[in-house]
C-alpha cells in the first residue's frame, strides 16, 4: 500500500486539502483601512460580523483520499473515487473563488469603495491538490494496466 507512488500522491493531496482546516485565511481583502474580510470572518471596526466556512468540502475530500488509499486492492474503485475527488477539488476551489468575489457584494459597508482582494497561500495549496490527485489517478491506471498485461501472459 505505502510502497506505491500513487499512495504518496493521494496522501500529499489529502494533506494539502487539510491545510484549509487550520483556520488560516483562504482569501482576504482590505477596504479603506476600516473593513477587512477573510474566508473565516468579516470584521467591521472591531466587531465580527459573519463567519464563512469552507471546511465541509475539505473534510469530504480528505475522507475520499483516505478511502482511495485504503482500497488499494480494488483499482476500479480507486479510479472512480479518484475522479470524484478531482471533481470535488475543482468545484471547491471554484466555490472559494466565487465566494471571494461575491462576498463584497453581500456587505453593505463594502459597496462604497473598491476592495483589494488577495488569495492566501492556503488557497493555492488547496488548488495544488488537483495536480496530486491527477497524478494518483494516473498511477493507479498504470498499475492496473501492468497487472492486466501480466494476467494475459499467464
Question: What pLDDT is stored for residue 118 in this prediction?
Answer: 74
Strand partners, 36: 30, 43
In a domain, 11, yes or no: yes
Residue 58 CB partners (closer than 8 Å, separation 6+): 17, 18, 20, 21, 92, 126
In a domain, 150, yes or no: no
Question: What pLDDT is stored for residue 46 in this prediction?
Answer: 47
Asked if 122 and 24 touch (Cβ cutoff 8 Å), the reply is yes
Q: Express as a percent the part of the chain with pLDDT over 90.
A: 29
Considering only residues 131 and 24, tell me which one the structure prediction assigns the higher pLDDT.
131
Considering only residues 48 and 123, tell me which one the structure prediction assigns the higher pLDDT.
123
Question: What pLDDT is stored for residue 65 in this prediction?
Answer: 92
Domain count within the chain: 1
pLDDT tens digits for range 32-49: 555 555 555 545 544 444
Report pTM.
0.77
- Supply the CATH number for residue 80's domain: 1.20.140
Q: Which domain holds residue 119?
A: 5-145
How many whole angstroms from its chain centre is CA 23?
14
In a domain, 89, yes or no: yes
Would the pLDDT of 97 be above 50?
yes
In a domain, 71, yes or no: yes
Would the pLDDT of 15 be above 90?
yes
In the chain, alpha helices (H): 5-18, 55-70, 75-106, 121-153
Average pLDDT over residues 52-72: 84
How many of the other CB atoms lie within 10 Å of CB of 146?
10
pLDDT tens digits for range 134-143: 999 999 999 8
In a domain, 153, yes or no: no
Amino acid at each position: 500500500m505505502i510502497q506505491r507512488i500513487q499512495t504518496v500522491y493521494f496522501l500529499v493531496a489529502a494533506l494539502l486539502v487539510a491545510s484549509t482546516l487550520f483556520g488560516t485565511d483562504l482569501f482576504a481583502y482590505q477596504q479603506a483601512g476600516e473593513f477587512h474580510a477573510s474566508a473565516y470572518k468579516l470584521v467591521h471596526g472591531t466587531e465580527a460580523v459573519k463567519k464563512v466556512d469552507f471546511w465541509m468540502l475539505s473534510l469530504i475530500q480528505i475522507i475520499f483520499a483516505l478511502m482511495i488509499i485504503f482500497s488499494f486492492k480494488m483499482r476500479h474503485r480507486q479510479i472512480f473515487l479518484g475522479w470524484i475527488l478531482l471533481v470535488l477539488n475543482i468545484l471547491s476551489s471554484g466555490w472559494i473563488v466565487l465566494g471571494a468575489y461575491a462576498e463584497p457584494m453581500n456587505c453593505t459597508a463594502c459597496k462604497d469603495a473598491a476592495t483589494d482582494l488577495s488569495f492566501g497561500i492556503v488557497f493555492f495549496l488547496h488548488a495544488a491538490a488537483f495536480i496530486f490527485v491527477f497524478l494518483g489517478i494516473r498511477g493507479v491506471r498504470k498499475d492496473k494496466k501492468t497487472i492486466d498485461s501480466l494476467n494475459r501472459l499467464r
